[in-house]
Structure 1
Amino acid sequence: MLDLLIKNGHVVDPKNNRNSVCDIGIYNGKITPYDSREEAKHTIDASGKYVFPGLIDAHAHMFADGTEIGIYPDIAYLPTGVTAAIDCSAGVANYRLFKSSIVAQSKVTIKSFLQVCSAGLVTTAYHENINPKYFNEEKMYRIYHENKDNILGLKIRQSEELAEGLGIEPLRETVRIAEKIGCRVEVHCTNLPVPTEEVLNTLRPGDIFEHVYQGVKNTIIDENGRLYDCVKKARERGIWFDSAEGRKHGDYDVMLAAMKQGFVADMCSTDLVIGSMFRRPIFSLPNLMSRYICMGLPVEQVVKMSTWTPAKLMNMEDEIGHLGEGANADVAIFDWMDCKQTYRDWKGTEFKADKLLKPEMTIKDGQIVYCAPDYIYEEAYK
């Protein structure tokens, strides 16, 4: 007997090429094949709803009480269909506290990138120090190898206001250390102090270019709106691109120009912090996904950007990000409802949308952890 049966929902599961109405069986915390003759302890009628793998936010800040910007992951994510996320907040001075207080205590599955500044992103009162002479290479090496189950790589914010005349040297040193450690690099790319091409040429296959749609300086398009060839070449050689829009890192003109030329970020993520959680312009991952769909991207592509692709980044492609047999039973059910919204980017440019993904239910490891109060579903007790 199944623990849960989700029936009649429109399943979108990019990894397994499913985009149709079908049923999903859950037993003992895992996705399991369903035979129509099989009974279930609980049945969820998802007629007229979308059924996605549990969403994955590929870039967020979850070090609550250890940084001024940190969200509480379970509170922020489970009511919005997000069951896994990647943090980019802690450095070697406080990583162990982050792992014990946040990763170990959260229902949400969390992995992380280690900030090269030892203190991480502790405060908003001033920027972290990215001068390479203050990097603690030996401790980065040790902390990474002690926590390879959780740490995915190194993170640096390579913005002009942080570089303070050092140009691209902080990123080059970060890549050098990552080579020695044997890990990825994720680089924050807003207001770049050098041309975009120079940053992309410094990165290696598997590294991540964050805030790809930023519009402040040295963006991915030229003054005439043409996508730089270096961006296309970087993707061809294996650089990953993440939206990580945050409050100030998404420019609709850059985004739409790139989309018209066939370029879309590999991942759709929020860069969620306490100041953007349930607030404009980001609000939540499904709210951001809704805008992407209304901008013209297919639902299946947006779901892939928010499930299967970040699952691969987390090295968890067998366990999460899809609804195939044996995967963790992380499931998100949504209504695709009529709702007029006006989105605004960092400079005030408007985009008007008329549809919205409304979270109806979140299932984590086979347990219902959120249900909208107006979602009354069939329930059978055996």
Structure 2
Amino acid sequence: MVYDIWIRNARIIDPRRNLDQKGDLFIYNGKIMPPPASVPEADEIVDAEGCFAFPGLIDFHTHLARGLTDIGLAPDVMTLPNGVTAAVDAGSSGWANYEIYRKGVAASSEITIRNFINVSPNGFVIEPYFEDVDPVKYDRKRLAFLFDKYPNELLGLKVRVGKPSSKHLGVMPIAASVELGKELGVRLASHVVEPESPYSEVLAPMRKDDILCHCFQGKGPYSILDSNGKVQKVVREARDRGVVFDAASGRANYSFGIAQKALDDGFYPDIISTDVVTYSIYRRKVFALPYVMSAYLGMGMPLMDVIRAVTDTPAKLMNLPGVIGTLAPGAHADIAIFKLQEKKMGFKDQFNNVVDGKGLLVPQMTVKDGWIMYRQITFMDW
């Protein structure tokens, strides 16, 4: 067999297999192949000495409805150069415009895309004005139709609550959305920023595989921490029953102060994602997924756990475990080659909390379904 690509001498990190070792990767016809018994041949040989090979990264919280919303990104342009080969749109569209987004953006993209659909009919269209999350406006019939029509594309419902978004409704939209999720047999992703109620009330309705987005937010009187700076008991109990905690940074939806105390208390995010939009891509505070990952390394989160939070865990939630998010033989050949560059970094949040970086993860090459989709111009051996 002549392989399409042979990646040599990489430090392979694959959390699904708890694998951290130097080795080679072999690609044929869009899949990762078992190592050959004899000296192989390949059309393309890539020397990755001094580099990491990660499964293609998954950004589980993005906004990709380019042309439909003012925050929407062009998926391939904004992901592949950052080692991201799969992404989830976090409720940019609602039941009234999902199919426009699907046909115009998602279906024509190279990366793997899955979606949450907003409980509000129009979704998140323009940033200065929040969508209407009053439960009386939920269209159960139309949502049921879409989940039935696109079961492999739609992961669940999305709702935003907090002082800026749900105002006098408090956390009621979460409880109502959970009930709707039960009716439809789907999970809920809840954006919670500056909540008007304590986290005991925020988390109470949430079920196994429901997702708390922006778990390290620091606005208002409530956070996941108690008065002693430790993770609240109700938060740990929620995790124990299967609630998923997504860091979902955004420009203004996280606090390094909260995150650092949570990490010091042994509470790591299940998912590291960006919540990146047109106003934050390639700008300070979010930039792109490798930047956010580097900040978590700076806060002391182990590399294996950081990579798990952007590969295997989101792959499971996308209903694609073992298909993407891993470098195991038989998986899709989605691969991200990175260098950890020694660079003095000061990651800063909106509250002027600073994290001293331990290095910067710099993308070198991205392979999607066996095709080289991005390559740093200096990452060549000719």
The verdict on a shared fold, with TM-score over 0.5 as the criterion, is: yes
* AA of the residue aligned to 1:16: R
Q: Pick one of 65, 68, 73 that aligns with 2:67.
A: 65
Tell me the distance in 2 between the aligned counterparts of 1:354 and 1:318. 30
Q: Pick one of 136, 140, 145 that aligns with 2:143.
A: 140
Offset, 1:377: 2.9
| Worse overlay, 332-341 or 160-169 | 160-169
| Worse overlay, 114-123 or 369-378 | 369-378
Secondary structure (helix, strand or coil) at the match of 1:90 reads: strand
Tell me the distance in 1 between the aligned counterparts of 2:223 and 2:289. 23
Tell me the distance in 1 between the aligned counterparts of 2:286 and 2:128. 22
Tell me the distance in 2 between the aligned counterparts of 1:231 and 1:169. 19
Q: Pick one of 323, 328, 331 that aligns with 1:327.
A: 331
Offset, 1:103: 1.1
Match of 1:10 in 2: 11
Q: Pick one of 63, 79, 82 that aligns with 1:80.
A: 82
Secondary structure (helix, strand or coil) at the match of 2:60 reads: strand
State the TM-score, normalized to the length of structure 1. Answer: 0.97
Secondary structure (helix, strand or coil) at the match of 2:343 reads: strand
Offset, 1:153: 0.3
Q: Pick one of 47, 51, 54 that aligns with 1:52.
A: 54
How well do the aligned residues superpose, as a CA RMSD in angstroms?
Answer: 1.0
Tell me the distance in 2 between the aligned counterparts of 1:101 and 1:324. 33
Secondary structure (helix, strand or coil) at the match of 2:320 reads: coil
Q: Does 1:188 align with 2:194?
A: no
> Is this contact kept in 2: 1:163–1:193, CA < 8 A?
no
Provide, for residues 213-245 of structure 1, a one-character-per-residue CA deviation record: whole Å limited to 9, x for no partner: 000132100232121100111111110000001
Tell me the distance in 2 between the aligned counterparts of 1:318 and 1:263. 25
> Is this contact kept in 2: 1:92–1:140, CA < 8 A?
yes
State the TM-score, normalized to the length of structure 2. Answer: 0.97
Tell me the distance in 2 between the aligned counterparts of 1:204 and 1:350. 34
Provide, for residues 32-66 of structure 1, a one-character-per-residue CA deviation record: whole Å limited to 9, x for no partner: 01224221111100000000000000101000010
Provide, for residues 58-92 of structure 1, a one-character-per-residue CA deviation record: whole Å limited to 9, x for no partner: 10100001000011111110001000000011100
Match of 1:103 in 2: 106
Q: Does 1:28 align with 2:32?
A: no
Tell me the distance in 2 between the aligned counterparts of 1:24 and 1:120. 41
Q: Specify every segment of 5 or more residues in structure 2 that has no aligned partner in the other structure, as ranges.
A: none
Match of 1:364 in 2: 368
Offset, 1:354: 4.2
Match of 1:197 in 2: 200
Provide, for residues 290-343 of structure 1, a one-character-per-residue CA deviation record: whole Å limited to 9, x for no partner: 111121111111000000100001001121000011100000000111112211
Tell me the distance in 1 between the aligned counterparts of 2:257 and 2:170. 27
Q: After the TM superposition, which residues 167-316 of structure 1 pair with which residues of structure 2 at under 5 Å, given as runs?
A: 167-217=170-220, 218-316=222-320
Offset, 1:349: 1.4
> Is this contact kept in 2: 1:222–1:228, CA < 8 A?
yes
Tell me the distance in 1 between the aligned counterparts of 2:336 and 2:306. 14
Match of 2:130 in 1: 127
* AA of the residue aligned to 2:24: D
CA separation of 1:225/1:123 partners in 2, compared to 1, >3 Å: closer, same or farther?
same
Offset, 1:14: 0.7
Match of 1:43 in 2: 45
Secondary structure (helix, strand or coil) at the match of 2:373 reads: strand
Offset, 1:30: 0.1
> Is this contact kept in 1: 2:15–2:308, CA < 8 A?
yes
Tell me the distance in 2 between the aligned counterparts of 1:60 and 1:47. 32
Secondary structure (helix, strand or coil) at the match of 1:318 reads: coil
Tell me the distance in 2 between the aligned counterparts of 1:124 and 1:267. 24
For these two proteins, the number of residue pairs brought into alignment is: 378
* AA of the residue aligned to 1:336: L
Tell me the distance in 2 between the aligned counterparts of 1:289 and 1:269. 8
Q: Pick one of 345, 348, 355 that aligns with 1:344.
A: 348
Secondary structure (helix, strand or coil) at the match of 2:307 reads: helix
Q: Which runs of 4+ in 1 moved over 6 A?
A: none
Secondary structure (helix, strand or coil) at the match of 2:81 reads: helix
Secondary structure (helix, strand or coil) at the match of 1:22 reads: strand
Offset, 1:125: 3.1
